[in-house]
Structure 1
Amino acid sequence: MSSLTEQGRAITAQAAGYASVAERIGAKVSDYGSYGFSPRQTCALNVFFDLAQEFDSLEDLYSLAVLVLKQFFDLEAELYTLDPSGSLVRRSPDLGPTTATPPLPGELAEQPAFRDGEYRIPVRGRSAERSSLPVTPVGDALGMLVVHPRQPLTDHQILYLQKYANRVGFQLHNKLMFFKNREHIRFIRSLVHDIGHNVIVPNMYFKLLFRQLEGKIQSMSQVRETLLHGDCSSTNVLAEAMHQLGYLHERLEEQYSEIYRHFQQSSMFLETLLRQSHFDQGHYVLQKSHIDLLQRVVLPQVERFKGRLEEKGVKVCMPLYDDDTPRLVLADTGLISQVIANLLSNAVKYTRPDPDDESLTMCCRIVFVENAFGEGKPAVRVEVCTSGPPVDAADVPHLFEPDFRGRNTTGEYGTGHGLHFVREIVDLHGGHTGYHHDVCGNVFWFELPYSDPPS
């Protein structure tokens, strides 16, 4: 009985929906009948609508909005739209005249009006989903259409231009939503790569840590058996068992510290990648603070990767720096930590023997670079240096591109996403990235603007 009731409600709701749509169709037919638009005016609306669907770029839509008026009615016009900062920007500046007094955002809240012989019409979008747009509308207005008539406009022409501006606003709203949604999808796809590369793949190291932990637990069980069932009257047996217990206790403490350190880093990376603000904006949103790049980022990450490097026979040189080297930057700690982690992860995989002495080495350098971003604008640079032959010259221009893997990566697991993530995050910070080969070996580096200590 309940399912029949629900079905009846659904049918009733559907019928109400049909009635509502039919009512709106009738209202529109009545409206168009009262407008009395000429065939040419109706054709202009249809052409604008059809081409607005056809063109993919906002620039084409901007040009379309003014060129339809020009080609159908010989009306010069210019279109202004809001940008993310809240300013009104003239679009397609090479088309048509320019007003002597450009509109200001505050005028968007006003009704259409004449000013200095121009007819200014706020371009309004849909009232729904305004919070999801990449710009903040003024009421419903996304911009302004400024028309420069050669002769006084009739009331009928004014009505037509207002309806035309409404069509521009709706199409602009739809286009902005489309690009914003596409940006969100692109970001989510990239985020999936980032989580896989920066969190899931490194967490496979937990398997090794737990296997090592399991081995020590088994060793403790053997010592326990010795103490329970062995000849504990023997001073040598007891002493050996106590010695083993002491050794295992120290190793377990080390193991605990390493697992906990790895857990802290993984948690920080996940919390950083999964911030609500990233999803709201459709791109990474930085949470900057003043940090000592060495103490907060480089040293913790080098310590985290040290064991994995040494297991591969790589000698780790702790970060090389002078005590008086300025190291303060304004940065997002979580994201920049993942930048250095990506470089160190590559060092684990791609460090190769030095051509001269066959040694495997990795070291970090902290360098203060004067005028890196222009006169009087220094940077703090982090360099990760690994022994081995230089990267193939043909690969160097592509190292930081998405999904690119060089000729030297054969046999090593990778996604080709790590260095792209490095460049993306450093670019967001207004920094630089790069690669070169020197006497140390292969040097991958990034630099961030130096920041004076906060007062």
Structure 2
Amino acid sequence: MNIYCPTDPPEFSSVLARIRQKYDDYENYAFSILQDRAIMAFFDLAQEYETLDNFYRICVFVPKEFFDFDCCLYLVDAETKRLQMACDSLTGLSVCGMEPPPEIRISDSSYEAGDSFVSPIKGNLRWLAAKPPAKADEVIGMFEVFPLSYFGEKDKLFFEKYANRIGYNLHHKMITIQNEKHLKFINTLIADIEHNVITPNMLYKVFLNNFRKRLSEMEEIYKTWSEKIESPECKNCKQVKEIEKLRLDAINIHAELIKQYNEIEKHYQNTSLFLESLLRREHFEKGAFVLRRKPCNFRKEIIEPQLDRYRARLERRGIRIDEHLGGIPDEEIPLAVDIGLISQVYANLFSNAEKYCEEVPNEFGQPVKFMAYGREIIKDFFGKGRHGIKFNVFTTGPHLDQEDARRIFNEGMRGKNVGNKPGTGHGLHFIKKIIEVHDGVVGYEPTPLGNNFYFILPLQGNSPQDQKTEQSATGDACPV
């Protein structure tokens, strides 16, 4: 019965075509009932037993028990790229690691070797495609069946297909074991990160607090010093000028230390924020970003700290900063986000602004080079009564190529306009992941004078206060 429906996506017809092709293939194979049962037994047992040793036994003993053919399983060593025996139906696993007979060689097609029939065991092409080309070897082993002299008409085809089933199952088990090792390593790494990175980093806070305390004590000392110098007893002191100079030097040194302390503290706070939000235990346990939302003042807690990091760099490149944020008071926006992760979204956007902002002529023909950011409420963006707030970061410069613009948020994607500027193509993809886990969307749009990158987050709640916020923001869009 044809169950195809015209409204199904195109890939559905492709799946149906493959199913029908398989139906025809099995009709042409015309395997015996015993051969079909052997295949089914192999699949059932391959799923039942998890260890590789038991899987090796299943591979060689299913043909032995069903057909009384002896078999030997050979696997390609990952390091030497040479065949090694893994298991046979004569002695089981005792041959594991031994060299194969000289007539057994790696081949991507079946061949006869004396009174044996040897078929290649090939890995899953989909998984192989994800490996580096130098390591994507399709043949991962060979399967020997003997005596060939007892083979019937369909036995060669059967054992070729049987070897294929071994390959797909074996590769799946190898990937599973590898993933388990990776997960164990990650779990250990989490503990190492907490012990060797997060906890020691917290100690810097204690150091900074003590440093700040000492600076305050130093300030009190030279204040007392100043009072002594200005006292009547010291007015006629011969060393008063020298002491005054020392006092001024101390004041200057103190001011410089305060300045450096403030820079170190800002760096510490930003680094701690990024470490905590990226190396969070929950991310590793869930295999995805796990949010810690809280209401915040976007300007003061997210945008300004990141802009402070990039302000000097932007100014060095002659990039003017338009800090107009729109007419929506921060405290009136009902928005709770993961501050650490959204801060990194802005860090990536400002970093890109530094790298890619270029000078262009404005409508009067005058050269301009600036970055601007802003926001606007978009009514019903996420559905009826579900408004969105759009955050924009604009830079002057030529528009992106249309094909680049379509794929700009893909992992590893870098536009044709990057030239020799450093980058990995990961930043915008990171932004996309963080915004999507916040239930938002990202986008790019060419605008007059340049390019606007934006993200839109759901406006939380639908209270009268929200409506007031929306009304106050109507028509008050990004300054770009």
Q: Which category describes the TM-score, using the shorter chain as reference length?
A: 0.3 to 0.5
TM-score by length of 2: 0.46
TM-score by length of 1: 0.48
